[in-house]
Amino acid sequence: MKLLKQVIIAVFFFAGCFAVLQSQLMLSGCSTSPGYSTMSPGQSLYSAKCSSCHRLIEPQAHSSSEWKYYVDKYGKKLSSEDKRVMLEYLTEGGQQRSNNN
């Protein structure tokens, strides 16, 4: 009886691990992984630097001048080159072709 209990606990333990592993794989698949083939440099910068505190906001949600303000506000640690590349994606690229990757 004791053994059975241990087996059941072990099964749940491993099932739990797999669930966590799976969700991490899925998360990294859609947010933090660079995805070199489909993402532009600005887009991968954006998803790498700006998704730690909140979901990624679609480029269409804000105008260019608003994005400039937000990238300055939240991207204080970024180099000016990184900010430029990111803004390029958020403003021009984002407004012309929305979710077209």
- For ligand HEC, the binding residues (CB under 6 A) are 49-50, 52-54, 57, 61-62, 70-71, 74-75
Helices (H) and strands (E) in the chain, counts: 5, 0
Distance of CA 54 to the CA centre of its chain: 9
Of 22 and 60, which has the nearer Cβ to ligand HEC? 60
> Considering the complex, what minimum distance in angstroms separates the CB of residue 44 from ligand HEC?
12
Distance of CA 60 to the CA centre of its chain: 17
Of 33 and 49, which has the nearer Cβ to ligand HEC? 49
Rounded to 5°, angle at Cα 5 from 2 and 6? 90
> Considering the complex, what minimum distance in angstroms separates the CB of residue 39 from ligand HEC?
15
Of 71 and 85, which has the nearer Cβ to ligand HEC? 71
> Considering the complex, what minimum distance in angstroms separates the CB of residue 24 from ligand HEC?
20
